[in-house]
Structure 1
């Protein structure tokens, strides 16, 4: 009976979204800094004490993100909703956007790292997902489970995607599943990116590329090499590299 209800729900949702397969997903991105620090064996005592002081027992720091999508494109950006602030540190909004064009097979990402802006332009490489049998509900949609690993950042990433929303898009830099990704779990809950609301609507300028881009341009290989260098440097300094780059 349960399987019949799930199938009926998926078929109903597919029919509902077939007319307007575009819109905006609202995500909450929660980082658990204490859990992250405990996983990093190379951190100095000073670094751990600093992080403990900064978060003062409240280490679940939230950011709010938007994913605009349609059949051909997606764009992931920070919401205008203010992210949380921790004691002793005022967070500021940095340059950040992740754009995918599935028809042209191109990407255009803009990141600010260590005070400098980088523009990553390249062709898309399909992520090597492993689709699993588990299902659960996320934001009112029955989602299937998939897994992938980031060997550079040493992350195991679980994704939950909704087959009834036929889009290859997803939050962060992840995409390429047969359905819109509505949740990401990085390293057993160290970072959780969860959809809170989905607006099915006609998009206007949300997917438009930035009019002016200022920063250092590079391809994906060069970007990964830069991240690798930063991670190696911070490990030598016994500091958390993800205080400087996105986890």
Structure 2
């Protein structure tokens, strides 16, 4: 088994060298959330509330929308893509954009959360990843598994990155692996995000930041403190925080 994995790793490294020029492009992701799984895992909700949520939000196929990531050697931009015709998750907001500046090692997040619009700027700090001894094919790219944790939201994160696309970025707020993140899930399938299409070359319609960004400007640390307080207050009130903060 170890020999097989070593051979695969060598193949991935060779492929990385052959395809290292693929550092500009766009990825379309399917963002799929399963509210029934999320709510049934919350210990502070009553059984009556769990039953109500299961009746209202139970859907074995989850609720989907489309997101898109554009990437270059020096930066990435991430926002909503074209919506699916199927039912999307209900709390989709108007403003949600993340820019990672790899050259300056800074980020900008412009998003509606907790009933307000925030402009968050700070230095990039990658999650603490552990690369695992597993591989998976996604859209013809051999991807390696990596795991991490979000201590603020109490989430287990499993990501799959393609080392033959050597940009350390990914969807949502995930980055810092030696290759583009093409898929990830949270808490064993409560949320699943997976690439459906990759197009290399300059994007035909580049994502642009709004000319005028109106909102509360905070640092990354200050924003995380707000998220922690909001989650704590929600739990104490026996309410689910996922409606106000992106899961």
TM-score by length of 1: 0.89
In structure 1, which of residues 69, 72, 76 is the aligned counterpart of residue 71 of structure 2? 69
In structure 2, which of residues 23, 26, 35 is the aligned counterpart of residue 24 of structure 1? 26
Matches within 5 A, 1:5-24: 7-8=10-11, 11-12=14-15, 14-18=17-21, 20-24=22-26
Report the counterpart of residue 176 of structure 1 in structure 2: 176
Report the counterpart of residue 232 of structure 1 in structure 2: 232
In structure 2, which of residues 42, 45, 54 is the aligned counterpart of residue 43 of structure 1? 45
Deviation per CA, 1:145-165: give whole Å up to 9, x if none. Answer: 111111111111011000000
Looking at structure 1, the residues matched to 47 and 56 of structure 2 have their Cα atoms a distance apart, in angstroms, of 14
Query: Which SS does the other structure have where 2:176 is aligned?
Result: coil
Query: Which SS does the other structure have where 2:228 is aligned?
Result: helix
Report the counterpart of residue 162 of structure 1 in structure 2: 162
Report the counterpart of residue 151 of structure 2 in structure 1: 151
Matches within 5 A, 1:207-218: 207-218=207-218
- Kept after mapping to 1: 8 A contact 2:183/2:194: yes
- Kept after mapping to 2: 8 A contact 1:34/1:59: no
1:63, distance to aligned residue in structure 2 (A):
1.4
Looking at structure 2, the residues matched to 90 and 39 of structure 1 have their Cα atoms a distance apart, in angstroms, of 20
Report the counterpart of residue 141 of structure 1 in structure 2: 141
- Kept after mapping to 2: 8 A contact 1:6/1:142: no
Query: Which SS does the other structure have where 2:229 is aligned?
Result: helix
Looking at structure 2, the residues matched to 9 and 158 of structure 1 have their Cα atoms a distance apart, in angstroms, of 20
1:184, distance to aligned residue in structure 2 (A):
0.7
> Is the alpha carbon distance of 1:8 and 1:129 closer, same or farther for their aligned partners in structure 2, counting shifts above 3 Å?
closer
1:39, distance to aligned residue in structure 2 (A):
1.1
- Kept after mapping to 1: 8 A contact 2:12/2:163: no
Looking at structure 1, the residues matched to 4 and 184 of structure 2 have their Cα atoms a distance apart, in angstroms, of 25
Gaps of 5+ in 1: none
- Kept after mapping to 2: 8 A contact 1:62/1:83: no
Looking at structure 1, the residues matched to 75 and 105 of structure 2 have their Cα atoms a distance apart, in angstroms, of 10
Query: Which SS does the other structure have where 1:229 is aligned?
Result: helix
Deviation per CA, 1:163-210: give whole Å up to 9, x if none. Answer: 000001110101000000001111011101101111002136625433
The reply to whether residue 243 of structure 1 matches residue 243 of structure 2 is yes
- Kept after mapping to 1: 8 A contact 2:113/2:245: yes
Matches within 5 A, 1:74-89: 74-82=76-84, 84-85=86-87
Number of residue pairs the alignment of both structures matches: 244
Report the counterpart of residue 105 of structure 1 in structure 2: 105
TM-score by length of 2: 0.89
Query: Which SS does the other structure have where 2:50 is aligned?
Result: helix
